[in-house]
Amino acid sequence: MNNALEKNSSAVRKRIEGHVFDDEEGEEYEGSEFNGFGDYFRRKKIKLQNLDADMRAASDKPPIFKGVVAHVNGYTQPPLQVLHRDIVQHGGGFLQYLDSKTMATHIITATLTPKKAVEFSRYRIVKPTWVVDSIKAGKLLPWSDYRVLGESPSQKVLKFDSDRGLTQSSPTARRGYKEQTENSFYTSQIKAEAQRNVGTQFTEKSPLSSRWQNDKPGDLLQRTEGALASASNEKYSTGNEGDEELKDEPMEFEDQSLPVSTIPADSSKIPPENMTSEEHNAWLLSDPKIRKSSTANPDFLKQFYSESRLHHLSTWKASLKSSMQRLAAEKGLSNRKVKSRSGSRRYIMHVDFDSFFCTVSLKRHPEYLDKPSVVAHSTGAGSEIASCNYVARKYGVKNGMWMKRALELCPDLKVLPYDFPAYEEVSRQFYDAILGVGGIVQSVSVDEALVDATDVVLAAAESHGIGVEEGSIWREQQKVDEIALALRNKVKENTECAVSVGIGANILQAKVALRKAKPNGQFQLRPEQVMEVIGDLKVEELPGVAYSIGGKLEDLGVKLVKDLRDIPKDRLVTILGPKTSDKLHDYARGIDRTEVGEQPPRKSVSAEVNWGIRFINQTEAEEFVYNLCKELEKRLVNEQVKGKHLTVKIMRRALDAPLDPTKHLGHGKCDSFNKSAAFGVATHNYEIIGKEAVSILRSFRFSPGDLRGIGVQMTKLEPIKLNPLAVEGSQRKIAFAPFVEPVPPKQQPRIELTDVVEERNVLSNNPTTPQKFRVGQDDKKATAHINVSGTQFVLPSSPDPAVLAELPSDIRTKLMAQRPKAAATEFQIEAPKSRPQSPVLADLLSSQVDLEVFNALPDDMKAEVLALYGRKPTEPLPRGSPDRLEAARTRKPATPTKPSGSRNTLGQTSRRQDAQDGVIQTNFRKPVPIEEAQPEQIEELDPEFLAELPEDVRREVIADHRRRLLALQSGLEMPAPRNNQSGNPLPGGQRMIQFPMLPPVISFSGSITSTSEIKDMVDAWHAQTRKAGPHKRDVDVLERYLVKVIKEEMDLTKAVALIKWLGVVVDQDDVDSRGRRAWKLAVGGIKAAMQAAVEERGLAPLQI
């Protein structure tokens, strides 16, 4: 710790210890001056120290924190008020405001942000448990054992033990604020709840009661860790055992106890203390019943989704929405109005079952119709009530209530099991009856729907819905009541269950009317009743208004909806935002602009499980993720969609939560984590999704025993164009062939040439020149690229060796590196001798070719030039053919080339080799006159000849033939344009005007040529060097640039504008300093250089 901390904190400590408070007559209790914020805060801090001094003086507790000045940062457990009281009562000092980090000796916090972790790295940062444990121990414990900013987990630290001397230990990893003390409010409530359950759940009938009654309550609580609190009776099982018993007879609590369910079958085994999560899960799963109900069961997912009430609700709701959309599409949206006419009366019906689950379950037990009944999984205290009838609600029982609390309110409660097949059948019959009414239907849930019956009502009442005709409104209201009554009777007849109907002019009014209609009734909210009925509602009863918005409105004094009407709209906007304020402003006046039937397309498909998750190792967790992805794939296929964005949701047991929550195999208190991944192509394949999901799970590095919930969700959905023959639909995959090792090329037998006369190698004396290859050697680089687009930089692929010897060494090295091996043969093919030149051809050659150069060429080169300027060359033989090799045996070596023709020879040889390799230039070679251009004829390949060739040679011949055909058909060798190219004077004595080249544009500092950009650079340059003056080199750079602008670019306007701009910038600096004088001298020097440049050009002096 640095000296500044010790010095400053010691001064603060002495000031706190010496602080004395007698009464409230001090100057700190006087009034503050206007705008004296600093003085106000100074007095406030003194008042806080007065309270601490009074508390410290009245305390009789040991001063174990004497000499400590503490400050609490952020959220902690125990909270700040408790820590403040305990520290002060035990003789310590406390700072509510930390003006400087060195004021406090210890800063108490549960966690720090990364930024604060760096800022506080040199201070004593301790956990709240340091205070609690020190008070419990009766002495000040070492703060280093409770440090928040510990060393890296992999870094060894020295630890001094009184008994064993110096040892090494690895510090534990940092934990978040969820790590709380055992005295936290949540933990104390859990333990108290568990202790109460222990006393109520074990009776004399339980075989374990005598064993557990001998233990102390504290030991019992420590051993069970709350596992006994989530009890259910022995008959309960999520498997097939006992299903018939549950379905045939409802569960009652008369003369029954609540035995424990989470204890393994072997009652002699007691969970040992300090078990890890994995060890506790292994011990828990040793009970076959619990194992069957957890993820250890291979059929867990199938069983879970078959018995999950929430899963059925969400699945049915999604299915119903899809059905409504398909139904609307089939009817062609004929019943939907494009837009309601202005002023038209509307009639919306909100239809809902009365206690849907309980009512349907009571069909099998009619004897309990007039008794309090609920639907739940079991009779255990941790079971959750899914639905209760109106008789049970009179006792205070509500949906979602824990079974234990419900039994306390109504001991005679009858518990009915789930009957999912019956729920599905009743829901189907319910929607059949609603669809029979007509109009627009919107499914809200499996037992709830909205119906826009406006068109049906107006047609039945023979009304237009606009204006007030004789009895029209009365007839419409009467007809909608008749339609609602007929619908209720139809549902009652088909399902033997009652429904309620609320009728209003919009969805809001229909929902409000439904509350007055329940149970088993109907109510129409007429226009004259809207303001009164809605005004008497509490604001929390409006749709979309919950505790948060209700609390903000209550701060404004708004409790009822009619009070909301008195609040100005602009004030609501400042508190709730524009969207929420607009909605509440309309709701308070009975206005709702939402249309019935607006079913947005589905945006996500997910599969989540947060019950029964108990893993022993990482392998089980990853296998479960793959199985969950299979379920997700099934749902994606059912919805006919695929997704591009995956989100994995993970629930991890909180660090201060017990290993067993109150609910049997529930998730309990958890921390939630999300991470997403994007796919390049939308998919629904579970293997692709599962691989990414497992990778995300591994990235969290969570202990598998602490996992309590896992979910996978796909978003950014795209429709699947289903193919009847394939499930993948429109998504196609590239069928890659299996990897095969490359086969080495076949070694061709070497051809012995007997009549070949070796010619002298001109480059033999150059050691850096590679030797030429024989004809029979392997041709590993004989893969010439097709150049159908043309380029003016095509290098010759096989230059003449004599020409190569005359080139510079750097060019020769580049050419040799690109030289194909097969082109360097040790013989040269003699071209057929040319016939005497015709006078026309001689004139053509004399006009375009130097005759001295032409006469110095060898015969084969002459033949090529003649062919280029009017003769049809002989058809080249296919590469590697037997005739070509035979010709190579009998031809004589070519005449040595004269040095004077080396440049032309290089181009001729390059063109000859390029023609053989199929390299073609587009309009860059010298064009052939139109009158002399002749179409080239390419002969067909002989199949018998091809059959005799080796495989690799045959492929090369065919590829060469195909390239030549492609070049001929593409028309790349275009004839010359029809213009004068002979160099003869134009007819009529016309002359061609040749304009001079434009002067180059001089760039400044790289690539800057714009005058405005250079002015900006001058401004920045002057601003940086205004005091010290410009550097000599910088001035020279600008001077040389302006001289070049005058001499080379010849732009006097630009040069004058820049020097004038520099002068203005310097003149604006009104401070007479050394820098300004240096700038004046620099500007004068630049002007003199510019005048000299102008004088060199012979121009008049510049006016600068």
pLDDT in tens, 522-542: 999 999 999 999 999 998 888
**Least confident residue range of 496-500, 836-840, 989-993:** 836-840
- The residue that leads in pLDDT, 994 or 378, is 378
**Residue 925 and residue 1031 share a domain:** no
In whole angstroms, how far apart are CA 930 and each of 438, 839, 847, 874, 971?
81, 20, 17, 21, 14
Residue type, 629: C
* Helix (H) or strand (E) run with residue 714 in it: strand 707-719
Tell me the pLDDT tens digit for each residue of 100-141.
Answer: 878 889 999 988 888 888 888 888 999 999 999 999 999 999
What's the CA angle centered on 649, arms 648 and 652, to 5 degrees?
130
Q: Given a cut of 80, is residue 284 above it in pLDDT?
A: yes
* Residue 662 token pair: 């109150």
In whole angstroms, how far apart are CA 611 and each of 381, 708, 869, 887?
16, 7, 90, 88
Return d(Cα 1055, Cα 1061) in angstroms, integer.
10
**Least confident residue range of 1-15, 317-331, 564-578, 886-900:** 886-900
pLDDT at 851: 67
pLDDT at 1067: 83
* Residue 1073 token pair: 């300093």
Whether 245 maps to a domain, the answer reads no
**Residue 1078 and residue 942 share a domain:** no
In whole angstroms, how far apart are CA 841 and each of 851, 862, 863, 958?
12, 13, 13, 36
b/e per residue, 614-650, with b = 16+ CB within 10 A?
bbbebebbbbbbebbbebbbebbbebebbbeebbbbb
Q: Which of 96, 131, 153 is the last residue of a domain?
A: 153
Residues 253 and 379 sit within 8 Å (Cβ to Cβ): yes
DSSP state of 539: G
- The residue that leads in pLDDT, 871 or 1011, is 1011
SS3 157: strand
Whether 587 maps to a domain, the answer reads no
Q: Given a cut of 50, is residue 498 above it in pLDDT?
A: yes
Report, as an integer, the average pLDDT of 70-87.
90
CATH of the domain at 52: 3.40.50.10190
Question: Which residue matches tokens 């090799």?
Answer: 885
- The residue that leads in pLDDT, 894 or 912, is 912
Residues 560 and 580 sit within 8 Å (Cβ to Cβ): no
412 is in an annotated binding site: no
**Residue 427 and residue 376 share a domain:** yes
**Residue 1030 and residue 955 share a domain:** no
**Residue 957 and residue 1054 share a domain:** no
**Residue 1091 and residue 961 share a domain:** no
Tell me the pLDDT tens digit for each residue of 808-824.
Answer: 666 666 666 655 444 44
Return d(Cα 1011, Cα 680) in angstroms, integer.
47
Q: Given a cut of 50, is residue 251 above it in pLDDT?
A: no
Q: Measuring CA to CA, which residue among 74, 69, 191, 83 is closest to residue 128? A: 83
**Least confident residue range of 81-85, 832-836, 1038-1042:** 832-836
What is the largest distance, in Å, between two alpha-carbon atoms of the chain?
Answer: 134
Tell me the pLDDT tens digit for each residue of 708-728.
Answer: 999 999 999 998 875 544 445
**Residue 503 and residue 356 share a domain:** yes
Total of domains in the chain: 4
Whether 99 maps to a domain, the answer reads yes
**Residue 460 and residue 406 share a domain:** yes
pLDDT band at 243 (very low <50, low <70, confident <90, very high): very low
**Residue 408 and residue 328 share a domain:** yes
Q: Which of 916, 937, 970 is the last residue of a domain?
A: 970
Three-class SS of 16-58: HHCCCCCCCCCHHHCCCCCCCHHHHHHHHHHHHHHHHHHHHHH
Q: Given a cut of 50, is residue 551 above it in pLDDT?
A: yes
**Residue 959 and residue 1027 share a domain:** no
Q: Given a cut of 60, is residue 434 above it in pLDDT?
A: yes
Bond preceding residue 114 cis, omega within 30 of 0: no
448 is in an annotated binding site: yes
Return d(Cα 179, Cα 162) in angstroms, integer.
29
Give me the half-sphere count of Cα atoms (radius 13 Å) on the Cβ side of residue 727: 10
Q: Given a cut of 70, is residue 831 above it in pLDDT?
A: no
pLDDT at 317: 63
Active site residue 448: yes
Report, as an integer, the average pLDDT of 909-938.
47
pLDDT at 708: 92
**Residue 944 and residue 830 share a domain:** yes
Strands 522-524 and 165-169: unpaired
Whether 355 maps to a domain, the answer reads yes
Whether 736 maps to a domain, the answer reads no
pLDDT, mean over the chain:
73
Return d(Cα 70, Cα 105) in angstroms, integer.
6
pLDDT band at 213 (very low <50, low <70, confident <90, very high): very low
CATH of the domain at 1043: 1.20.58.1280
Q: Which of 91, 124, 153 is the last residue of a domain?
A: 153
Whether 909 maps to a domain, the answer reads yes
% of the chain beyond a pLDDT of 70: 62
Report, as an integer, the average pLDDT of 312-340.
57
pLDDT at 928: 45
Residues 728 and 672 sit within 8 Å (Cβ to Cβ): no
Return d(Cα 108, Cα 99) in angstroms, integer.
16
pLDDT at 731: 53
pLDDT band at 834 (very low <50, low <70, confident <90, very high): very low
Whether 213 maps to a domain, the answer reads no
**Least confident residue range of 360-369, 555-564, 798-807, 908-917:** 908-917
The one catalytic residue among 193, 307, 448, 718: 448
- The residue that leads in pLDDT, 330 or 431, is 431
Return d(Cα 24, Cα 15) in angstroms, integer.
19
566 is in an annotated binding site: no
Name the packing angle between helices 472-495 and 420-435 (round to 10°): 150
**Residue 1068 and residue 922 share a domain:** no
Report, as an integer, the average pLDDT of 893-899.
44
Residue 471 structural domain: 312-336+344-525
Strands 69-72 and 93-94: parallel
pLDDT band at 998 (very low <50, low <70, confident <90, very high): confident
Tell me the pLDDT tens digit for each residue of 853-886.
Answer: 677 777 767 776 676 655 444 444 444 444 443 4
Whether 854 maps to a domain, the answer reads yes
